Amino acid sequence: MLEINTTHLERLGWDKDRDAELRTLLLEIPEPGPTVENADSGPKLAAQSEGYLVGRISFVSRKHFLVHDGQNEIAARALGGQTMQACVGDWALCRRVGSGPAVLVQLLTRKNLLSRKAPGKRPEPQHLAANLDVVFLVAGLDEAFNLARQERLVSAIRASQIEPVVVLNKSDLGGTLQRDRIAAASASGTETVLVTSALRGQGLDLIKEYVPFGHTAALIGSSGAGKSTLINALLESGKIATGPVRRGDSKGRHTTTNRRLYEIPDAGLLIDMPGIREWQLWTPAGNPGVTEGFADIEQLAETCAFRDCRHESEPGCQVRLAIEAGHLDAARLRSFQKLQREEAYFRERYPEITSGREDRIHPGGFDKKRQLKGLHKKYRRIQQEKRRRQGR
Ligand SMILES: Nc1nc2c(ncn2[C@@H]2O[C@H](COP(=O)(O)OP(=O)(O)OP(=O)(O)O)[C@@H](O)[C@H]2O)c(=O)[nH]1
Ligand SMILES: [Mg+2]
Ligand SMILES: [Zn+2]
């Protein structure tokens, strides 16, 4: 059987389940036999650099990946349909051939996966990160707090079986806002709200507590919230580029453009992400959906007189009762119902996805179509330009 050294992977979050899976996988891979000399086989590849390795994807840029094996980051690329699927935080079995980039052979089973619907019209997921323990929802105390988006994020994160933790950063600028914000953030369905100042190094220990050795967290939030600055402060090296926010509305300039995994000294791993603008749900089969972020309402709804209570004017509605008694915010119920409608629309619109036949929608298919369209456009433009120059 093939052997792969995994001793250095623990600090990247390697666990027993992953190890067992890898052992099984390796049983299926035939051991490389002695090379047969064959005049037709072309140039020989360097034998010593060939071989399998396992590591965690630490960086993604389109089809290019970096895979961390616990000691080094190795350049890798995906083959065919896998391109769409691999993301930061994934464990991958790779194969190295010659001196070029390694090839992702197979992804190991994910503990969880954070996805949203890819921006644009195409019904495709965008996988943001895999195998997370926590997602930090970072908001700057200088930016306008968007409760509706926060609720949407919390339910998406919960639905992926990941714990959401709100981080209110820039406490040095917060002033009197702070108290209201903490209340608002708590109303979004998260239990934990941390207050930090990346600039002054306040609250960094709180973050570390949530990401101990071997754990992984991703940072999500608007551009300019201070995600990269927070990671820099924790890295104690300041190696990630950060950018100033706009005067007036404190909006960031989308400084971070890729997702990347960082190892924090004396703690676990943090994934830096580009700032987000919007978040469309992606709730295929197997994903418990938006209800996960609204356990409080779900619990109340179970005690409503009617099983299909819409919490409008039905008698014996415990949800309305809770709102009237001031235990539940009416806006929160509205958010929940809005997300439920969105989810229902998604499931109706894309039944092939929600019934678990996602594989029928070939990821490459859309790309190819778009590529062709782009080529046709380009061709037409060149033709037009040619005619123009010929004076037609
Ligand atoms: N006053 C203050 N400024 C901060 C703090 N944290 C970050 N900043 C500033 O906020 C600006 C944006 O910080 P970044 O770390 O680039 O923000 P980001 O969330 O990574 O933004 P994107 O990469 O664009 O998504 C920078 O000018 C930082 O110096 C803080 O705690 N206090
Ligand atoms: Mg950044
Ligand atoms: Zn009801």
Among the residue ranges 71-80, 193-202, 234-243, the one predicted with the least confidence is 234-243
Model confidence at 361, pLDDT cuts 50, 70, 90, reads very low
Q: Is the pLDDT of residue 3 over 70?
A: yes
Classify domain 290-354 by CATH number.
1.10.40.50
| Neighbouring residues of 122: CB distance < 8 A, sequence distance ≥ 6 | 366
- What's the whole-number average pLDDT of the chain? 82
Which residues are CB-contacts of 220 (< 8 A; sequence separation ≥ 6)?
128, 135, 136, 137, 138, 153, 227, 273, 276
Q: Span 192-203, mean pLDDT?
A: 92
Tell whether the model's pLDDT for residue 78 goes beyond 90: no
- Regarding pTM above 0.85, the answer is no
Instruction: Give the model's pLDDT for residue 366.
Output: 34
Average pLDDT over residues 179-203: 80
Contact by Cβ (8 Å): 94, 108: no
Task: List pLDDT tens digits, range 48-64.
Answer: 346 889 999 999 988 88
Determine the Cα–Cα distance for residues 343 and 336; give it in Å rounded to an integer: 10
What is the band of 294 on the pLDDT scale with cuts at 50, 70, 90?
confident
Report the topology of domain 10-31+47-107.
OB fold (Dihydrolipoamide Acetyltransferase, E2P) (2.40.50)
Distance from C-alpha of 279 to C-alpha of 300, rounded to nearest angstrom: 27
Q: Where are the domains of the chain?
A: 10-31+47-107, 113-272, 290-354
Top CATH class, 113-272? alpha beta
Check residue 169 and give its pLDDT. Answer: 94
pLDDT tier at 363 (50, 70, 90 boundaries)?
Answer: very low
Which numbered atom of ligand 1 lies nearest the CA of 244? 27
Ligand 1 atom 32, closest CA: 170
Pocket of ligand 1 contains residue 244 by CB under 6 Å: yes
229 lines ligand 1 (CB under 6 A): yes
Using the atom order of ligand 1, give the atom closest to the CA of residue 138: 19
pLDDT in tens, 205-247: 999 999 999 999 999 999 999 999 999 999 987 688 888 887 7
